[in-house]
Structure 1
Amino acid sequence: MRISRTVQQMPVLPNESEKYKAAVIEQPGKVAVEKREIPQPGKNEVRIKLHGSGVCASNIPVWEGRDWFSYPVEEGNPGHEGWGIIDAVGDEVKGFTVGERVTGLTYNAYATHDIAKPENLVKLPDFLDDKPFPGEPLGCAMNIFSRSDIKNGQTVAIVGCGFLGLMLIQLAKSQGAKVIAISRRQFSLDAAKSAGADETIPMDDHFKIIEKVKELTENKFCERVIEATGKEWPLNLSIELTGERGKLIVAGFHQDGMRNLNVQMLNWRGIDMISAHERDPQKYVDGIKEAIAAIQKNELDPFPFFTHTFKLSEMENAFRHLTQRPDGFIKALIINPGHS
């Protein structure tokens, strides 16, 4: 007989004086794991005993260092892809109880515990019990997919086939689109093929890529192009790959400086250029729920692309993998003791 999840995974509640562990970026390129007093939730907050957190490419600037950051960074920050078990709830919290497995938006997730608002959390269903589930990037992928308005029969180019690009390949294929995957690493092109891409093109020579896409689309180029690199050259390449009255969806993380863009081509072809990043937390929560539904319908399968796991004490190595991207690397997870 199956024991219910709540009973089976009921945590031992920590004492008020118990310590928790958190990674702290002390200075660019340097991380320490520190013990702090365990945080207590406010009246309308919950505390999560974290099973783990994803490692996001948006962390690279704070890891490498920029003039506008102050160090040491707040403990657990910038981790924001956590999941785990609720182990304490505030007096005014409704709809969430101790022992429920959740994911969502927390902001200090490189730690063993984090605090969250209940409205920013999503309960994880039973079929995900044995799976790592960094909800935020999956919600992000679903929101980008929604903004892309991909339809059956369209040709879609995905420029940049890291974790996000691979999720978007799967989602585009679920709508019956033809997908052209363009990426720098051969390993990521192989991963794109496994995700369902119809064609793969190395991201090496600007004009050769344009000619190849022109050939594959019979001179029409693509109805949809999703740029997922965060770099200037691939963004301009994406403009050139978008057909007349097509849509260019900017999914890359462009927050490290200005970009020079070929606005002439945008204008000439009448391209809609869409920033697909959301800032409303509820949009992310909705996206996470949609990602869970897509996984259940076999339209999305992120699990093969969680390629590397690290402990909190190995955060520096995780960040090095994130920046150097060795062969075989797609997405790293930080996993806390006792979880897989």
Structure 2
Amino acid sequence: MTGDARSVLVERPGAHRLVTGEPPAPGPGEVRVRVHAAGVCASDREVYDGTRAAGYVRYPVVPGHEWSGTVDAAGAGVDAALVGRRTVGEGFRACGVCDRCRGGETSLCTAGYEETGFTQPGAFADYLVLPARLLHPLADDADLTAAALLEPAAVVAAAVLRAAPRAGERVAVVGAGTLGLLAVQLLAASSPAELLAVDPRTRPLEQAAAMGATVTAAPEESKELHGRYDLVVETAGAPGTARDSCLLARRGGRVVLTGMPEPGAHGIDPVHLSVSQLTVASVFGAPPAAWSYATHAFGQGLLRPAELITHRLPLTAFGEAVALVGSGDPAVGKVLLTP
């Protein structure tokens, strides 16, 4: 195999280059994946801008934690039948042996944070090497372009599993970006009596309605709905969305936070939490059970990620892709790099 494997290397905040070399070789227990597509999200923009929290990125790094591809080589001790399989894979490189990992909470691994695309080489490359135990193989006819969104779908699946929606409940989703629209799709499958989507942008609200939301509202309009919802899933990570989500919940309701706000976000009123007896949970990443849920929902057609994709760019256009993600343009949905 010739030395023509490419990858995008972010050497330090604001500085990247395309590097080439020999394809990486999988070690014992590892596989090499030929990347089909990789999603660019706000956390990749943080890596490039240098605003990601300390300890959650290690430079130089090849970003890319949302990906799909085909296994093209297997290391020692790995089932050779995996070669040729279409697949996605978990990002957290958890130790697998600490108490949290053994309890299935791999995103809380006590051995320290390691994740594909942040501290380990990611998928903005022709090839990706990762432990075979992290793979979630897909059907032979799976749409690999759409499957590149299964990482954010797994995060949403983790929120839905934590929220445990019940048929007939009133449910709200705050934020109609990639996470929010995937949440609308999964929550619509739980047969809610009402499914609200909140976002300041018109186009995402129209998409949410097409994907199962029965009510849509801008943030100002949603104030009239405070105290109405049994379950609220927050996905935006904007300065006030955690607080607003708690206000939308009824007394005794449940709130799950998935967005990642920047420092200085508005706090949640502890008096409101206590008086309303809210249950508030948070999600960071996705454990194996959430990945299984997301890939199964995708295989059954309950998740339709392809509808969220607006841009497909070559690997050489990384700079343009990052600029699109940070542009604020409402016409920009999910941006993919396609090696």
Choose which of 152, 159, 184 in structure 2 pairs with 1:169.
Answer: 184
Question: In the alignment, which residue of structure 1 is the partner of 2:335?
Answer: 332
Mapped to 2, the partners of 1:291 and 1:20 lie a distance apart of 30
Is the 8 Å Cα contact of residues 22 and 75 (structure 1) preserved in structure 2? no
Per-residue CA shift, 1:61-109, capped at 9, x if unaligned?
A: 22222384899933422x1112212121111113643222211135211
Is the 8 Å Cα contact of residues 31 and 132 (structure 2) preserved in structure 1? yes
Task: Using the TM superposition, give the Cα deviation of residue 31 of structure 1 relative to its aligned residue in structure 2, in angstroms.
Answer: 2.8
Question: In the alignment, which residue of structure 2 is the partner of 1:243?
Answer: 250
The total of aligned residue pairs comes to: 307
Is the 8 Å Cα contact of residues 32 and 130 (structure 2) preserved in structure 1? yes
Q: Looking at CA atoms only, which structure, 1 or 2, has the larger radius of gyration?
A: 1
Question: In the alignment, which residue of structure 2 is the partner of 1:209?
Answer: 222
Tell me whether 1:94 sits opposite 2:101 in the alignment: no
Equivalences for residues 261-300 of structure 1 within 5 A:
261-278=268-285, 283=287, 285-300=288-303
1:297–1:84 CA distance, 2 compared to 1 (3 A): closer
Q: Which one-letter code corresponds to 1:184 in the other structure?
A: P
Question: In the alignment, which residue of structure 2 is the partner of 1:217?
Answer: none
1:24–1:80 CA distance, 2 compared to 1 (3 A): same
Choose which of 209, 224, 231 in structure 2 pairs with 1:224.
Answer: 231
Tell me whether 1:144 sits opposite 2:151 in the alignment: no
Tell me whether 1:200 sits opposite 2:216 in the alignment: yes
Q: Which one-letter code corresponds to 1:196 in the other structure?
A: G
Tell me whether 1:120 sits opposite 2:134 in the alignment: yes
Question: In the alignment, which residue of structure 2 is the partner of 1:55?
Answer: 40
Over the residues paired in the alignment, what is the CA RMSD in angstroms? Answer: 2.3
1:145–1:95 CA distance, 2 compared to 1 (3 A): farther
Q: Per the alignment, in what secondary structure is the counterpart of residue 82 of structure 2?
A: coil
Is the 8 Å Cα contact of residues 18 and 316 (structure 2) preserved in structure 1? yes
Is the 8 Å Cα contact of residues 57 and 322 (structure 1) preserved in structure 2? yes
Mapped to 2, the partners of 1:141 and 1:237 lie a distance apart of 19
Is the 8 Å Cα contact of residues 161 and 290 (structure 2) preserved in structure 1? no
Equivalences for residues 285-324 of structure 1 within 5 A:
285-324=288-327
Task: Using the TM superposition, give the Cα deviation of residue 222 of structure 1 relative to its aligned residue in structure 2, in angstroms.
Answer: 0.6
Mapped to 1, the partners of 2:61 and 2:126 lie a distance apart of 11
Choose which of 158, 177, 185 in structure 1 pairs with 2:201.
Answer: 185
Task: Using the TM superposition, give the Cα deviation of residue 173 of structure 1 relative to its aligned residue in structure 2, in angstroms.
Answer: 1.2
Mapped to 2, the partners of 1:94 and 1:278 lie a distance apart of 27
Question: In the alignment, which residue of structure 2 is the partner of 1:7?
Answer: none
Task: Using the TM superposition, give the Cα deviation of residue 258 of structure 1 relative to its aligned residue in structure 2, in angstroms.
Answer: 6.4
Calculate percent identity across the aligned residue pairs: 25
TM-score (norm. length: structure 1): 0.83
Q: Per the alignment, in what secondary structure is the counterpart of residue 21 of structure 2?
A: strand
For structure 2, the 5+ residue unaligned runs are 92-115, 117-121
Task: Using the TM superposition, give the Cα deviation of residue 191 of structure 1 relative to its aligned residue in structure 2, in angstroms.
Answer: 1.2
Per-residue CA shift, 1:163-205, capped at 9, x if unaligned?
A: 11011111111111111110021111111111111111112x3
